[in-house]
Amino acid sequence: MTRITELKVGKVKVTALKDGEHSLPAEVLLNLSKVDRGTIESDEKNSLSLSNINAYLVQSGEKNLLIDAGCRDLFGPTCGYLCEALEEAGLKPKDITDVFLTHLHPDHMAGVIDTGGTSVFKNAILKVMEVEYDFWRAGNFEAVEVNGADWASLAKSVIASYSDRLEILQRDSEVISGVSVISIPGHTPGHAGFRVDDGEQSLIHLGDIIHVPNLQLFDVNISTVFDIDSEIALKSRKEMLDMASTDKILCTSGHMLSPKFGHIEKVGSNYAVV
């Protein structure tokens, strides 16, 4: 089984790295139909709530940019294979020059440190959006159930272990030359996707607007408890899908299943990946 899917955007090489897969339990999904809820509750390995955890390798010139880093050991035995995927792509952790985290949720950031809190990517600069950095550092998370103290403390450990090589990005920053940040608030305050442009070709990463593609592409109102502001997240989901389908840009995202890259097409009031 391969964990990687490679693609060229102009001269830039983009590789989707599959950290793992799991099905989300019904209790973390909101606005489900009764039928779908029944299906998900009766089969914990159902494909309706199947989600992948993807990271990305963007190789341009001398740069080996890693975007997100998987969930390490936090989500059980079906996930946490980022380094295996990286090796399949021909790289070791020491080869990574830059790491960009789309947001500071465990399934995107845990893999940048080991279980002892030491950085995994010894030669990389860690890049984080300013709004995201401020949110997780400043808040009082003790009384928060989801997005609570455990996640905030992991975010703080990640930031601390890269404190000597941390770069804070603004909304319209470039991560590296040719790779720019797309601000997509809602899921978290500083949540971002990215786009790669080279010559006539482009690729857009839609961030975490979707966690369970088999449900949310067919009903954009289905969401997860992980959205910090569900109203803004819904608005962002609609806007991004609308933009992707109207502009016919090649897309990918943090929880996309197979194929890892595709075009979003509007089908009635729903969407499909083609």
State the number of binding residues for Zn ion (CB under 5 A).
3
Stretch of 19-27, 63-71, 103-111, 168-176 contacting Zn ion, by CB under 5 A: 103-111
Shortest distance, position 255 Cβ to Zn ion, whole Å: 6
Site for Zn ion in 181-210 (CB under 5 A): 208
Which residue's entry shows tokens 């990005």? 169
b/e burial code for range 136-156 (CB count within 10 A of at least 16 → b): beeeeeeeeeebeeebbebbe
**Which residue, 12 or 48, is less far from Zn ion as judged by CB?**
48
Shortest distance, position 148 Cβ to Zn ion, whole Å: 16
**DSSP of 121-173:** -TTPEEEEEHHHHHHHHH---TT-TTTTHHHHHHHHHHHHHTGGGEEEEPTT-
- Rule CB under 5 A: choose which of 107, 135, 175, 205 binds Zn ion: 107
**Which residue, 12 or 220, is less far from Zn ion as judged by CB?**
220
Site for Zn ion in 44-73 (CB under 5 A): none
Shortest distance, position 146 Cβ to Zn ion, whole Å: 13
Shortest distance, position 122 Cβ to Zn ion, whole Å: 25
Shortest distance, position 209 Cβ to Zn ion, whole Å: 10
Both tokens of 167, joined, read: 């770069």
State how far the Cα of 79 lies from the Cα of 63, in Å rounded to an integer. Answer: 26
Position with the least CB separation from Zn ion = 208
Characterise 186 by phi-psi region: left (phi > 0), alpha (psi -120 to 50), beta (else).
left
Using CA atoms, how far residue 269 sits from 186, 219, 241, 242, in Å, is: 22, 8, 11, 10
- 19 contacts Zn ion (rule: CB under 5 A): no
Site for Zn ion in 236-255 (CB under 5 A): 254
Q: Are strands 98-100 and 125-129 parallel, antiparallel or unpaired?
A: parallel
Site for Zn ion in 139-178 (CB under 5 A): none
As a 3-state breakdown, the chain gives helix, strand, coil percent values, each rounded to 5, of 30, 30, 40
Shortest distance, position 254 Cβ to Zn ion, whole Å: 5
**Which residue, 120 or 210, is less far from Zn ion as judged by CB?**
210
**Which residue, 107 or 132, is less far from Zn ion as judged by CB?**
107
Contact status, residue 52 vs residue 20, Cβ threshold 8 Å: yes
Residues lying near Zn ion in the complex (CB under 5 A)? 107, 208, 254
